Amino acid sequence: MIFDWPARMRQMADFVGFSDEDLALVRASGPILLDRAEELTTAVYDHFLQFPATARFFLTPEGEIDQSRLDRRKHSLARWLRNSIDFQLDEQFPVFLLAMSVVHSNPSMERGYLGSVPARFMIGTMSFAQTAIAGVLSEDMDDPHLALRTSAAWNKLLMLQLDVLLAGYVTETPTPPTPLPVTEEEGALDGDADPQGMRRVLTNILDENHRNASANGSAQPHQGE
Ligand code: HEM
């Protein structure tokens, strides 16, 4: 399967209504957010540490907080924030996002014992980031209407990013075409349509998961899942 990622991002930008004006609002908010980047990134990691299911990615095998890993990650998150402020819909941005996605969905050898970061926490982190950014903008922008429009622009931008981040997780299991449904008069639509088809889709997904687990070297469910 071949993907034209910039085209996909453009399609999503149109779909969520991310306009040139939104882009200008995001860029203009750069100095305000970068001024508080340290506080924003610290808030994200403090949040991770509050929940065992996310904290475990930042613990040593002995269960201590791995401060150097945390510091490295804060640095990466600040880089992501800067890149988001400089966002442009070019060839590079989707590559940056996909690479970032794969780091989370396919743990490195060193981190293999932890398994993937569950996709739902990527979604949750985007939600956390949206709320935190909105908070900073409403505190630090004099014009509340402009702060609201800028928050909305950030919300759209982060959803565009989330689509590509999750694509690094999702296997788009192809569904083969099936015959057209027969009409009620023909006696088939009894609410129990095509159980075989449903079973086939589920089997495909389970097989794919199993293959991924074997490729990651663990057939065990992830800890904390
Ligand atoms: C919006 C969501 C997130 C963003 C934007 C983000 C951003 C990043 C970035 C930029 C990196 C560095 C990638 C690289 O090395 O090139 C990274 C690595 C990492 N992130 Fe996240 N992250 C997110 C969510 C999470 C969550 C929810 C967790 C776990 C609770 C997590 C855990 C990690 C870990 C463990 C690494 C290190 C991976 C490795 O070096 O093997 N991240 N993240």
**149-198, pLDDT tens digit by residue?**
999 999 999 999 999 999 888 765 556 667 777 766 655 444 455 555 55
| Listed residues 148, 170, 192: the one ending a domain | 170
pLDDT of 1 over the 90 cut: no
Same domain for 91 and 183, yes or no, is: no
Which residues does ligand 1 sit against, CB inside 6 Å?
A: 48, 54, 57, 73, 76-77, 80, 100, 103-104, 108, 111, 117, 121-122, 125-126, 129
Average pLDDT, integer, range 90-103? 90
Domain closes at, from 125, 153, 170: 170
Mean pLDDT, residues 39-44 taken together: 94
Asked whether residue 181 falls in the same domain as residue 156, the answer is: no
Q: Domain check: are 151 and 82 in the same one? A: yes
| CATH code where residue 137 lies | 1.10.490.10
Q: What is the pLDDT of residue 120?
A: 95
Q: What is the number of domains present in the chain?
A: 2
User: Could you list the residue range(s) of the whole structural domain that residue 182 is in?
Assistant: 173-225
C-alpha 166/C-alpha 174 separation (Å) is 17
pLDDT category at 219 given cuts 50, 70, 90 is very low
Domain check: are 110 and 184 in the same one?
A: no
CA-CA-CA-CA torsion for 180, 184, 186, 191, nearest 10 degrees?
70
In this structure, the answer to whether residues 86 and 187 fall within a common structural domain is no
pLDDT band at 72 (very low <50, low <70, confident <90, very high): confident
Is 44:102 a contact under the CB 8 Å cutoff?
no
| Ligand 1 probe mutation, 104, 114, 216, most atoms within 8 A of CB | 104
Same domain, 149 and 180: no
Structure letter (DSSP) for residue 59: B
Both 116 and 216 in one domain: the answer is no
In contact, 155 and 130? CB cutoff 8 Å: yes
Higher pLDDT, 106 or 80: 80
Question: What are the tens digits of pLDDT across the range 198-215?
Answer: 555 556 655 665 565 565
* Tokens 């935190």 belong to residue: 132
Are residues 73 and 33 part of one domain?
Answer: yes
> Cβ distance 73 to 42 under 8 Å?
no
Q: Are residues 133 and 208 in the same domain?
A: no
Say if residues 132 and 145 touch (Cβ distance below 8 Å): no
> What token pair was written down for 192?
């129990």
Considering the entire predicted model, what is its pTM? 0.80
Q: What is the pLDDT of residue 91?
A: 85
pLDDT, one tens digit per residue, over 98-143 is: 999 998 998 887 778 888 999 999 999 999 999 999 999 999 999 9
Same domain, 146 and 205: no
Atom nearest to 162 CA in ligand 1: 1
CB within 8 Å of 69: residues ≥ 6 apart:
58
The best mutation among 46, 58, 76, 93 to test binding of ligand 1, ranked by most ligand atoms within 8 Å of the C-beta, falls on 76
Mutate to test the pocket of ligand 1, among 41, 45, 67, 73 (most ligand atoms within 8 A of CB): 73
Which of 35, 158, 152 lies closest to 87, judged by CA?
Answer: 158
Helix (H, G, I), strand (E, B) or coil at 50: helix
